[in-house]
Homo-oligomer: A and B are copies of this chain.
């Protein structure tokens, strides 16, 4: 049964792929005969880049456009068309979509903007065209999309002026871009240095075809060896995840550049895509856990593919830098250091081995062969030794001025050794050297224009992880859990939730607002001082401002005085508020305070965050985010990555914390994601006090937000 569906899917995929990337006929809806208009460009670009299929301009005002017969509307074209490109104002698009559907068009790409990205009215218009297309099973790309390019078929369905380039360079990397104009920019940057693409798609608003489905077509495309993504958001995480995992399994690395890493950039990306702003860290976690490689710099996106094609993530991450230019090599070493990548200098074994060949290199983070090393014998012997060494995981070669005017001489020794090698090699060219770039690209060797992008690529490579697939045990359902997650019944408080999840809590006692001293003594029997006191009132949201919080109360006498004063102060500051009592809680001191946050991201779903408690996590942005639920091992790995928790890991001989208990608590809290029909959108433990090894963790405060 499953198999049959798969086959059907594959057939659907193949038909769609053909209509999208290798159509036998293309209708250009709204094509102009005025060469000054953008809408005239696709026809010219198609012919210019060698498209051999049929082109049907559609324009009711002209019987012929640039020598090809024009039709008043798509439904009047006398044959079924594979692919239509709609370039009309938004309000004319619905009718055009219906006409395309009537023709039997297999796939329509919509350049027009003015849909979901503009707000509610645009969203409705987008829903309308989607429905019109679905009536006949016609697929839509866009709207608000700049088109499709397939260099292997001369298919350049786009008005992007990057297509003015005399010749489209072929290649083995393909791009899906949520920004239309960036598609042209990346094409242009690639072309300039001999770096070609196989297929490029501007996905626009993804009303129908999205990154997930298009990526799957690329996974099945023999011309595509790596998939590049320029992302502003994630619209369909399930399909995206399935695609990324299939690509990983197929050995086709997926490399993503993600906009919106800064708060203002994130806000802009959200408004630009008509999406709700989520957390950038959540998307990064989503990409990482689905086996996607994420780059930080724009040019890394097009430059790094050869470094990872045919490879899997690397267990260790030590890179050796060699070159004939000391300054250029130092630029790389410094940039690697800034990204916390281990730079491996030559081992004594390598130094000795080279010495037997009369080559002297010193024990330094950089193997600087100086001008003398431009000698192919020396350069080759050193590179051979590094490629054979088990003590590094990648090699960066830095080539100086010779790469500009003597490209052959400069890069041939590298190509001989790096082409098809098991160990990844990156090349940084210090001058502007397009011809050397071209030679290296042609040999499928990663070549970088800037030291920053080269170091970024190494960081991205060493951060690459296999898709996460550990099973997290199912959460045993309980009435209390269900009630809490849905906000029904009476069991809605955080304490019950913590109990159910097996997370210890600081002991808390509630006393009445008018409790007498003797009541107090009885209620507090066995409670350990110091304690903290909070007022209990349904009417007071900000307890501190109301005078309703007291910390570090040392003993019972201080507590008695404190309660009286608090009652008086709060009554004075919030005269109308109903005061129900005091919560008195043991103040636990551990080695560190940790924040554990569960949050349903509007784009990628449930996530779990671990960071240092208090305001520092926020100030230093030092939190680690993963998709929820996370296993205990996964939680442990997260904890390792929080810089500010270094003291708990024994930094500078400080006493170690109970990291096992912390990981168990993080995993437990993350399993809120498993609750059926949960309305919990946010649940935060802040702080969770971590004791010494074997002394466990204790939650002091928990906050739950339901939708």
Contact = CB atoms under 8 A, between A and B. Distances in A.
Contact of A179 (B268, B327, B343): B327
B334 A182 contact: no
Interface string A153-180: 0000000111010000000000001111
Interface in A290-346: 297-299, 324-328, 330-331, 333-338, 343
B331 A298 contact: yes
Given A181-B325, A431-B189, A615-B654, A259 B330 contact: yes
A221 interface: no
A643 interface: yes
A622 interface: yes
Nearest to A263: B337
A67 B705 CA distance: 87
A431 B188 contact: yes
Interface stretch (A99-107, A396-404, A494-502, A664-672): A396-404
Decide if the interface of chain A is mainly helix, strand, loop or mixed: helix
Interface stretch (A26-34, A75-83, A365-373, A506-514): A365-373
A651 B188 contact: no
Contacts of A298: 331, 450-452
A259 B325 CA distance: 14
A400 B268 contact: no
Interface in A113-172: 113, 160-162, 164
Interface string A335-377: 1111000010000000000000000000011101011000000
Nearest to A400: B181
A368 B272 CA distance: 10
B261 A401 contact: no
A230 interface: yes
B188 A268 contact: no
Given A230-B327, A265-B338, A371-B38, A162 B431 contact: yes
A260 interface: yes
A651 B615 contact: yes
A70 B654 CA distance: 71
B619 A265 contact: no
Q: What's the number of copies of this chain in the assembled complex?
A: 2
A179 B430 CA distance: 12
A644 interface: yes
Given A162-B401, A644-B616, A651-B615, A430 B182 contact: yes
A217 B612 CA distance: 53
A463 interface: no
B328 A185 contact: yes
A626 to B, nearest CB: 21
A572 B285 CA distance: 52
Given A298-B450, A646-B615, A334 B259 contact: yes
Contacts of A191: 432
A188 B401 contact: yes
A373 to B, nearest CB: 12
Contacts of A178: 327
A298 B453 CA distance: 11
A267 interface: yes
Contact of A326 (B272, B324, B328, B330): B272
A4 interface: no
Contacts of A268: 330, 333-334, 364-366
A486 interface: no
A337 B262 contact: yes
A652 interface: yes
Contacts of A331: 182, 259, 298
Contacts of A271: 364
Contacts of A335: 262, 265
Contacts of A646: 615, 619
Nearest to A321: B268
Nearest to A374: B38
A333 B263 CA distance: 10
A647 interface: yes
B328 A405 contact: no
A658 interface: no
A685 interface: no
A581 to B, nearest CB: 26
Nearest to A455: B262
Contacts of A616: 616, 644
Interface string A434-464: 0000000000000000111000000000000
Given A164-B404, A620-B643, 18 more contacts: A161-B400, A162-B431, A177-B327, A178-B327, A180-B327, A181-B325, A182-B325, A185-B328, A188-B431, A188-B432, A189-B432, A259-B334, A260-B334, A264-B334, A264-B337, A265-B330, A272-B326, A619-B646
11 contacts: A161-B405, A181-B324, A181-B430, A184-B400, A185-B431, A230-B327, A268-B334, A268-B366, A269-B330, A298-B452, A619-B644
Closest 7 CB pairs of A and B: A179-B327, A262-B337, A265-B334, A188-B431, A181-B325, A192-B432, A185-B430
